[in-house]
Amino acid sequence: MWRVVVILSAAIVGIPLAGHAVEPSGYGQAGGEFDIKVPRVPAAELAEAKALQSPFQPTPEILKEGKEIFLGRGTCFQCHGPEGKGDGGAAKVLPIQPRNFTNPKFNKVRTPGEMMWVLKNGSMGQSGRVPGTGMLPIVGQFLSEEDGWKVLLYERSLGEEK
């Protein structure tokens, strides 16, 4: 639980976004997640991130482990919501809304490798340079890279068209 408190405090401290001339419109305002079409990985690292492949296939076993991490020690549900819709209890106090992983379009524009980049580096949001969206680095902090792949494969499974 303390981890969530630390993450949230850091997110709130990192807010000084409003009023910056170069911010995308709406940046830092409440209400809705931000454009999925804008890559979160900086341009110089994008090709490498896109090419990064998961060592796991999304088998039922891997997805089960990923779900346990999402709802458990990963604390992802606190912001992304118990069903991954981006509506977790902690989302209300965040300047940028968490990603809704149940949107099938998300998987089409984002590769697993780009998601891993965000898990390692955090997300700077749409501007690509302002830190503090609330999505702070997780892999290398309190999840291993293997756990990171499992949980992101689970997140992607939520957006699969059934």
Q: Give 31: exposed, middle or buried? Use CB within 10 Å, 0-12, 13-18, 19+.
A: exposed
Query: Angle at the Cα of 139 (from 134 to 97), degrees rounded to 5?
Result: 20
Q: Does 135 bind ligand HEC (CB under 6 A)?
A: yes
End-to-end CA distance of the chain: 34
Q: Tokens 């968490």 — which residue?
A: 98
User: Contact with ligand HEC (CB under 6 A): which of 17, 49, 62, 76?
Assistant: 76
Q: Does 113 bind ligand HEC (CB under 6 A)?
A: no
User: Contact with ligand HEC (CB under 6 A): which of 17, 96, 130, 153?
Assistant: 96
User: Contact with ligand HEC (CB under 6 A): which of 54, 75, 100, 107?
Assistant: 75
Select from 13-21, 22-30, 48-56, 68-76 the region that touches ligand HEC (CB under 6 A): 68-76
Q: Give 33: exposed, middle or buried? Use CB within 10 Å, 0-12, 13-18, 19+.
A: middle
From the CB of 19, what's the least distance to ligand HEC, in Å?
Answer: 19
The partner residues of 143 in beta bridges, in order of sequence, read 139
Chain contacts with ligand HEC (rule: CB under 6 A): 7-8, 11, 33-34, 36, 40, 74-76, 78-80, 90, 94, 96, 98-99, 110, 114-115, 118-119, 123, 125, 133-135, 138, 143, 151-152, 155
